[in-house]
Amino acid sequence: MKDISNITTPSLANIARPAPFELTLPYGDFRFSQRLYEVIHDWGIPTEMEVTYLKRYLPPTGGKALDLACGAGRHSVGLALTGHTVTGIDIGGFTIDLARLHAQSHNVAVDFRVGDIRSMPLPSECDLAFFICGQMTHLSPEDNQAVFKNVFRALRNDGAFIIHLEKLEPEDRLNRTFWYREIKPLYFENPSLVHREQYYFPTEQVKLIRDFAIDSVTKASALFGYSEKEYTPDDIERLAARSGFKVISHHGYYDGAPPRADSRNGIFVLKKR
């Protein structure tokens, strides 16, 4: 079959331009949560290094941690294994089921809950909360403000809040359209043929994806989409200040190295002061 990936269509000029964060993925749908996990779970990121980094902000054992958008609980289980009390929250029912199995298989207890971190009541007096590995960039500043305020209430005084951000790549800063064929299905039960529109909003530093997906077997079709924002250190300072946090460190990666101009990642440590 002819490879149709990356066939670009010439212009977005005649298509109504969406607004940043106008569309969001159905994270709360159980089957979507399963398919999303199956598409992204083998992304090869260094869980051990991340967990070691998180432990810097906990006592050696017996700390209380909150894993926001925990997915299948790889950080929660890592911390529980060193004797910390952990609550992991994710909006996806499938990933929480998987996280519970994961904890069971390691013989540790973790309190995994299904919920939306923007609004659900969180446990109190935590030493550490973390919102890492990509998800923060998919939320609007308003939604992140809600998360920060929620987390502020969950931490004890001097508790740490760790966030991880990724910068956009040059190809994210383009307006373009193209067709591609999914290898693993994300939108429907079977792989889809997807018409992707990508918009870049330079003022907001937001990439928006609007996908029109057609299930290759059932021919069902629907529109999906999401946004991804590059949050600058100034954006983080603003979000932090508005919710009562102070930014105390900024690292380029989980090895604790300082950020460089070309660092793709930014890890910020905020404290409740």
Ligand X SMILES: C[S@@+](CC[C@H](N)C(=O)[O-])C[C@H]1O[C@@H](n2cnc3c(N)ncnc32)[C@H](O)[C@@H]1O
Structure tokens at 182: 């999914």
By CB under 6 A, the count of residues binding ligand X is: 19
Residue 239 CA to residue 257 CA, distance in Å, equals 23
Residue 271 CA to residue 273 CA, distance in Å, equals 6
How many Cα atoms within 13 Å fall on the side-chain side of residue 129?
28
Say if residues 147 and 68 touch (Cβ distance below 8 Å): yes
Q: Of these, 76, 95, 150, 198, which contacts ligand X (CB under 6 A)?
A: 95
Does position 150 interact with ligand X (CB under 6 A)? The reply is no
Q: Of these, 69, 98, 103, 122, which contacts ligand X (CB under 6 A)?
A: 69
39 by Cβ neighbours in 10 Å (0-12 / 13-18 / 19+) ranks as middle
Q: How far is the CB of 1 from ligand X (least distance, A)?
A: 30
In eight-state DSSP terms, residue 262 is T
Residue nearest to ligand X (CB): 71
Pairing of strands 126-131, 64-68: parallel
Q: How far is the CB of 70 from ligand X (least distance, A)?
A: 5
Which of these segments, 1-9, 63-71, 217-225, 227-235, binds ligand X (CB under 6 A)? Answer: 63-71
Residue with tokens 């991804």: 228
Nearer to ligand X, 15 or 101 (CB): 101
Tell me which residue of 81, 51, 78, 79 sits closest to 65, measured CA to CA.
79
Structure tokens at 209: 């994806």
Q: How far is the CB of 158 from ligand X (least distance, A)?
A: 24
Residue 15 CA to residue 256 CA, distance in Å, equals 44
Q: How far is the CB of 48 from ligand X (least distance, A)?
A: 13
Does position 173 interact with ligand X (CB under 6 A)? The reply is no
Nearer to ligand X, 118 or 271 (CB): 118
Site string for ligand X, 101-140 (x = CB under 6 A): ---------------xxx-------------xxxx-----
Does position 31 interact with ligand X (CB under 6 A)? The reply is no
Does position 212 interact with ligand X (CB under 6 A)? The reply is no
Task: Return residues touching ligand X (CB under 6 A).
Answer: 27, 33, 40, 69-71, 74, 89-92, 95, 116-118, 132-135
